[in-house]
A and B are shown apart, each in its own frame.
Chain A
C-alpha cells in the first residue's frame, strides 16, 4: 500500500468548464479518505483523474513517490470499484475476479489462490460458480470489491459503490467495507454524496463544493467545527438550523428570540459587536426546556429519537429530541440551545477565536 499525493490538481474540460480547482491532498499510507459533496461538486472527476480515466489539466499526482500524472491507467496500479459494479455478465464470479490477473498472464495457480483468498474475505466462496445475475446487489458489489482486492493495488478507488443498494444492504455493505479496510490496511479513496457513509467510514473527509475543497478533516472535526456555512449545512442530518442574529450586549439577538452568549463566545464574537452574523444550531443541540418557543407543525418519531419540526417566529427549526415525543401540529414547545456555531455573514467562514 502507498502514499498518495494530489498537488494543485485542476480539471478543465475542452468546453472550458472547470470542474476541479487547485485540489491538494496528502493521503497517508493505509488511510481511508472520503470525498463528499453534492452532485456536480467535482468529487468523481477528482477520483477519475486519480484513476487516469480523466486527463489532469494541471498539477501533479504522486503515488508512492512516483509522479504518475501522465501515466496510462493500467500502469498506475490502482483498482477502482464502480457504482454499477461493471461485472461481466457472461462470466462466473470466479472468472470475473480472476479476469484482470489472467490478462496480466499471471500464474494460474497463484490467481486461484488470490481469488479464493479474496472470496473468503468477502464471504463469496459459495458463490464462485454463479453468474452475476444470480447474486443480490450487495453480493455483486462485493464481487466488484473482490476483483479489486485480487490485484493488490497500491490504491483502491470507490466511486459511490453503495448508491445502487437499498438502505439495509447499504448499511451492511458499509460495515463490510470498513472491516475490509481494517483487514487490508489499504490506502482508499472513496467518493460519496451520502454524508452518513462519509462520517462512518472515513479516517478523514474532504468536503467539496463547486470544484473547491471546503474542508479536510476527521469526521468529528467536520461535524464539530465546520469551516464554513457550506460544510455546516452539508454535514449532519437533519441539517443545521441557521438564523441571522445580531451580536449585542453579550447576546445573539434574532427577531424572535435572544440567546445569552458564554464568556468564550463573547470573546470570539467581540469584533462582531453590533453586526449581524449567522448562527447555526444542530437539531440535536436544541433541547427541551428553555425560553425559545417553537410552534410545532410536525412530529417524526424515529424510534430512539424524535424530530420535531416547527417555527420560531418566522424561522423554520428542526429539533432532535432523544425521547419518543408525541407533539401535535399547533403545540408549543420550549427549547434552548446547548451549542451554537457562528459564521461571518459576508465570507461564510466560521468565526473562531
Chain B
C-alpha cells in the first residue's frame, strides 16, 4: 500500500495507533479531580456540610474516577460511546462547582461558639479551577475522541468500499 498524501497517511495511522491524546487528557482530568477532592474538606467545609452530602460527594467522586478511568481505556481504543460519557462527566464536574464550593463560599459556621468562614475566596478559586480544568479536559478528550473515531470509521468504510470494488478508487 503506497500512501502519498499527508492527510491520508494521518488517517491511515489511526488504524494502528491508539487515541493517546484523549486518554492522556482524561488521566489529567482525574488528577485535577483528585486535587479538588483532597482540598475541598481541608478547612471547615466539613463542619458546614456535616450531613449526608459528605457521603454523597465521596461516593460520586469514587464513581467519577472509576468512570473516567474506564472512559480513558475506551477512548484509547476508539470506542465512540465512551467519548459521549466523557463529555457528560465533564458537564458533571461543572455542576459540582454549584453544589459544595458555591454554597460554602464565605458561608459562616459556628465552631466552639465562634463563627468562622467555611471556605474563603482563595480556597474557592482553587477548587473551582480544579473542577473547571477537570471538566474542560474531559470535554476536550470526549470531543477529540468523537472526531478521531468518526474519522477512523469513515476511513475504514472507505477502505472497505475500495476493497469491495477491487481496489479501484
A116:B10 contact, CB within 8 angstroms: no
Residues of chain B lying within 8 A (CB to CB) of residue A129: 15-16
Interface residues as binary, B1-31 with A (CB distance below 8 Å gives 1, 0 otherwise): 1010010011011011100000000000000
A113:B3 contact, CB within 8 angstroms: yes
List which A84-142 residues lie within 8 A (CB) of chain B. Answer: 92, 94-95, 108-109, 112-113, 115-116, 120, 125, 128-129
B9:A109 contact, CB within 8 angstroms: yes
A94:B6 contact, CB within 8 angstroms: no
Residues of chain A lying within 8 A (CB to CB) of residue B15: 128-129
Contact partner of A128 among B6, B9, B10, B16, CB < 8 A?
B16
Residue of A nearest to B5 (CB): A109
- Min Cβ gap A191→B in Å is 32
A109:B1 contact, CB within 8 angstroms: no
Residue of B nearest to A94 (CB): B16
Which range contains the number of B residues in contact with the other chain? 10 to 19
B1:A116 contact, CB within 8 angstroms: yes
Which range contains the number of A residues in contact with the other chain? 10 to 19
> Whole-angstrom distance between the alpha carbons of A120 and B1 in the complex?
8
A112:B12 contact, CB within 8 angstroms: yes
Residue of B nearest to A125 (CB): B1
- Min Cβ gap A177→B in Å is 23
Binding site for B on A (CB under 8 A): 92, 94-95, 108-109, 112-113, 115-116, 120, 125, 128-129
A-B CB proximity, top 6 nearest: A94-B16, A109-B9, A112-B13, A128-B16, A112-B9, A109-B6
Binding site for A on B (CB under 8 A): 1, 3, 6, 9-10, 12-13, 15-17
Q: List 19 A-B contacts (CB under 8 A).
A: A92-B16, A94-B17, A95-B16, A95-B17, A108-B13, A109-B6, A109-B10, A109-B13, A112-B9, A112-B13, A112-B16, A113-B3, A115-B16, A116-B1, A116-B3, A120-B1, A128-B15, A128-B16, A129-B16
Additional A-B contacts beyond A95-B16, A109-B10 (5; CB < 8 A): A112-B3, A112-B13, A112-B16, A113-B3, A125-B1
